[in-house]
Chain A
Amino acid sequence: MNPFEQVRRLRRARPPEQTVARDVDDELRFHLESRIEELVGSGLDSAAARERAAREFGNVEAARSELTALNRRTAARRARTRRLNDLWLDVRFALRTWRRRPAMAVALLAILALGIGANSAIFTVVNAALLAPLPYRDAHQLVHLWETHQNGAEVSEASYPDFVDWRAQGGGTFDGLEGYDPTNVTVAGAGGARMTAGARVSAGFFDLLGVAPLLGRTFRAGEDVPGGTDIAILSHRYWRTELGGDPGALDRTIVVDGRTRRIVGVLPPGFHFAPAGDALLWFPLDRTAQTRDQRFNHWLNVVGRLRPGVRPDAARTAVGVIMDRLAATYPETNSGRGIRVVPLRDEVTGDVRPILLVLAVAVGLLLLIACANVAGILIAQALGRARELAVRTAIGATRLRLVRQLLTESLAISTAGAAVGLALAYGGVRLLVAAIPAGMMDGMPFLADLRPDPWSLVFTAGLATLAGLAFGTIPALIASSAAGIGAARLSARFTLSRPGVRLRDALVVGEVALTVVLLIGAGLVGRSLLTLLREDPGFRAERVLTARVPLAGAAYGNAQAQRRFFEELLGSVRALPGVLDAGAVTNVPLVGGGTNTFRVEGEPEPPAATRPEAVMRGVAGGYFGAMGIPLLAGRAFGPGDDSAAAPVIVISQATARRHVPGGQAVGRRLRFYAFPTATWEVVGVVGDVKTGRLDTPAPPTIYYSHLQAPQNRMTLVLRTAGDPASLRAAVRAAVRTLDPELPVYQLQSMEQVVADSPAVFARRFPLVLMGFFAAVALLLAGLGVYGVVAFGVAQRRHELGIRAALGATPRRLMRLVIRHGALLAAVGGVGGVLLAVPAARLVAGMLYGVPITDALTYTVVLATVGGAVLLATAIPARRAAGSDPATALRAE
């Protein structure tokens, strides 16, 4: 018997379970027969011997079933243990295999960790932003209502009377409608006043959302009356950080904007209401009765709970009917006004969804490339192990067993990759969230304190398994079939099978193609961002410092005090060394702001639905100079334009061009529909400024002086000689000197404001990540090409040697090798472009001034990939060029 046959017999020696019963029978029969024989030998007759043996034995049938059951249990337990042992052996073997090739293991681990880590990080953010439910009862029934105007072109908050009418007439559609009004408040404290985000809400707001307080109660009907009630509800976070989680918080008070409020409730942890920003303090609505009567005054945000079964579309139609009725009854304020009903989820995540979808796709592509790369490496490596596998086949390992072993190896490395990847994801999520500017973060409180959660762990584990199977199965199958071939000729050098070569080539082509897709995506967004940043925003952002100063408390209750404070503040900061110009504005550019409708005197009365409309900005000091907004005609505001003088305004060029026919705007007068008694004279025209978004045209804007319409909240704007950041402390000190109780916030350069503005962020954030993914993809694809080509050169050493012997020049040999790489790159490049055209639609919403088929981007990407492939081919090509006929012959 040959030794292999013996090994096989040993492997099969374990009894199958079916034989358990027969074995018990055999054993008992042997016992009884032996005993009977012995008794007969001692002289008993056979019947007596039989009877005595049976008596000595006891109940044979019972013994039989008892033993059979016992043995079956034992056999089952042993099989389980054996399987576990085999698995453990496989794992130990896999680890030993990797330990023998540490460089390879580290390379594979790094690739996988990066792929899996990036995917987990993105998934964690996607999960929190898009998949996790909103923390409200039956959140799918919640909608946000916006009024539309200019025939649907613009949206605004609702006016209070409109809201009251919706409530009264929308009973068939809504189970409830409630309003909220986000606000920043100043809270007095031991370390001076602190600016805190808050919101004023109608009494049933929390009940509508279905939120039960952790402590105390929510608001009650009647508490949201004009003037409000001196009570407050705290968010869980505020309660923990500012009150130390005091269980007796309900007996305490806080001083908000100079008003003492009793704490009546604390909200549960995990509650957030993103549309109101990161509001930490909640108060009942307190606007005056007068404000609540103004149908032209749009300030109330409205959320509604749809009746079960009512779709948002149906709600839109129903409220649309109410709005039409209101337009007929109140044409002065309501003509041209409509309604937009947005599911609350879209309202919360609508802005980030396209960004996150693009990132999810991009990072998925990266994982595919990583897997293809690892698969390529493993195929090469598995073929290199054909001899080892052949030996193991010969000593009895089945093909299934080999495949399992190889899969265990790939799963071991992918599990390790997942573990490292998870650590990367942990850090990655923090980086991702830290990269979101504070202004945008306020709209996404669910991203605060984000870390990989159990779902992300499940996701990562799933990814690792999938990746391990995906890149492990094919090499395992190829290698195990190769083992069969190898077994036939153990000593012969194994040559690469055709399917193996083709598959590796295909994998590399796929890597190149996906890399091209990623690069094109990143390239298009990058070009858009550059185009966007080259746009003239209408102001000069460099060397400008901004700082928001809100006036709060009884001391600033009157217009005079507000006016005096900002004048004094401007006077003191203008005197600071390094300040070239100083002004203030109600809202800096790019942060949006309210609008007003108006009519120009001397022009025909416009239809109510299409009245001229402009963004309003109150300014102080030398705002236009400080912000770098050019004066085109007339004059800017002067100190004489005060409350005693006639009301004057400065308008933007777009306002003049669009709404003041005749070309001569200075000297014309206009009237705002909201303040019908006053007329305002245009004294100057300034350049257009993108007051809203950088990627939309500058809207018509009208400026007025705070001396004539004082403000309690303005942003200081300083043009500086040097680095604006160096003046931050001085600005704080200047405010503190005037009033130590006042907070200063959003102390940042105007360049920062631009960088953090939604239009820029929505491109820069995905661009940075896509660029990173694309760079890694390019590296991996280059390594993939290198691996295939270098392996090909090693395989063809003999052939190349013969060619050299026959007179092929090194140049010719190099060309031969480079052709291989170039072919892979060409096929991959073409495939990539074909994939990129549909894939680029995903980023279409992020593009600005660049078509999705931008020829320049495509050309640069293809050239980059071509260059990388050439570089990857160069090393093996040089090696081929150095082929020595003698070595080739000796190797044989």
Chain B
Amino acid sequence: MGASLNLLQGTLDVLVLKALAWGPRHGYATARWIRDTTDETILVEDRALYVALHRLEAQGLIEAEWGASDNNRRARYYRLTPPGRAALRAKSREWTVYATAVFKALRA
């Protein structure tokens, strides 16, 4: 399915947080995770992804540290902070409630 969906406001943030929930990742790995887990349904422009990463970092929801990538190159790794983890929980819940409601409406 090649159709791209316009991301709803805030959706990218929750996806990024979720991507980091399994452990530290650099930006490229985060992009890939989103692409893979959504079966390329949601196409995120990489530029937007990086802006989201840096904004979340500025908000203190994630923190970054330079480290070595698998092929031993300098990469910037992002990791959830405790407030980030809490934000992820809250936003997933909101999203689920929202999506369920939309589903119900559409199936009515």
Contacts and interface: CB of A to CB of B under 8 A. Distances in A.
Interface of A: 23, 26-28, 30-31, 34-35, 56-60, 62-63, 66-67, 70-71, 73-74, 77
Nearest to A31: B28
Contacts, number: 58
Interface in B14-31: 26-28, 31
Most chain-B CB neighbours within 10 Å: which of A31, A62, A67? A31
A195 to B, nearest CB: 73
B104 interface: no
11 contacts: A26-B74, A30-B27, A30-B28, A31-B28, A34-B28, A34-B69, A58-B45, A62-B47, A67-B50, A71-B54, A74-B54
B47 A59 contact: yes
B64 to A, nearest CB: 9
B50 A63 contact: yes
A70 B45 contact: no
B54 A70 contact: yes
A66 B46 CA distance: 13
A53 to B, nearest CB: 8
B27 A31 contact: yes
B105 interface: no
Contacts of A71: 54, 58
B27 A27 contact: yes
Nearest to A35: B28
A63 B47 contact: yes
Q: Is the interface of A mostly helix, strand, loop or mixed?
A: helix
B76 A23 contact: yes
A644 to B, nearest CB: 105
A58 B69 contact: no
A70 B55 contact: yes
Contacts of B48: 58
B74 A30 contact: yes
A31 B54 contact: no
A27 B76 contact: yes
B75 interface: yes
Nearest to B43: A56
Contacts of B69: 30, 34
A67 B54 contact: yes
Interface residues of B, number: 20
A71 B54 CA distance: 7
Contacts of A34: 28, 69
Contacts of B46: 31, 56-58, 63
A57 B48 CA distance: 8
- Listed from nearest, the 3 A-B pairs whose CB atoms lie closest are A58-B47, A63-B47, A57-B46
B30 to A, nearest CB: 10
B12 to A, nearest CB: 13
Nearest to A37: B71
Given A27-B76, A67-B51, A73-B58, A57 B45 contact: yes
A78 to B, nearest CB: 9
B27 A60 contact: no
B73 interface: yes
Contacts of B76: 23, 26-27, 30
B47 A27 contact: no
Interface string B56-79: 011000000010010001111000
A42 to B, nearest CB: 13
B55 A30 contact: no
B42 to A, nearest CB: 13
Given A34-B28, A57-B45, A58-B45, A28 B50 contact: yes
Contacts of B51: 63, 66-67, 70
B77 to A, nearest CB: 10
B54 A56 contact: no
Contacts of A27: 26-27, 50, 75-76
Nearest to A70: B54
A55 to B, nearest CB: 9
A209 B104 CA distance: 83
Most chain-A CB neighbours within 10 Å: which of B54, B58, B69, B74? B54
Nearest to B58: A74
Given A30-B26, A57-B45, A77-B58, 18 more contacts: A23-B66, A26-B74, A27-B75, A27-B76, A30-B27, A30-B69, A30-B75, A31-B46, A57-B46, A58-B45, A58-B46, A58-B48, A59-B47, A62-B47, A67-B50, A70-B54, A74-B57, A74-B58
A56 B45 contact: yes
Contacts of B50: 27-28, 31, 63, 67
A67 B47 CA distance: 9
B58 A31 contact: no
Contacts of A70: 51, 54-55, 58
B31 A31 contact: yes
Contacts of A63: 46-47, 50-51
A31 B55 CA distance: 18
Contacts of A59: 47
A840 B47 CA distance: 80
Contacts of B58: 70-71, 73-74, 77
Interface in B56-108: 57-58, 66, 69, 73-76
Contacts of A66: 47, 51
A199 B57 CA distance: 75
Nearest to B74: A26
A62 B26 CA distance: 20
A301 to B, nearest CB: 72
B69 to A, nearest CB: 7
Nearest to B32: A38
Most chain-B CB neighbours within 10 Å: which of A62, A63, A73, A77? A63
A27 B54 CA distance: 11
B28 A57 contact: no
A60 B47 contact: yes
Contacts of B66: 23
B47 A57 contact: yes
Contacts of B73: 30
Contacts of B47: 57-60, 62-63, 66
Nearest to A27: B76
A884 to B, nearest CB: 61
Most chain-A CB neighbours within 10 Å: which of B27, B50, B51? B50
Contacts of B27: 27, 30-31
A34 B28 CA distance: 7
B88 to A, nearest CB: 21
A35 B28 CA distance: 8
Contacts of B28: 30-31, 34-35
B22 to A, nearest CB: 19
B108 to A, nearest CB: 38
A71 B74 CA distance: 18
A28 B47 CA distance: 9
Nearest to B51: A66
A95 to B, nearest CB: 28
A35 B49 CA distance: 14
A819 B55 CA distance: 72
A405 to B, nearest CB: 28
B63 to A, nearest CB: 11
A58 B57 CA distance: 21
A74 to B, nearest CB: 4
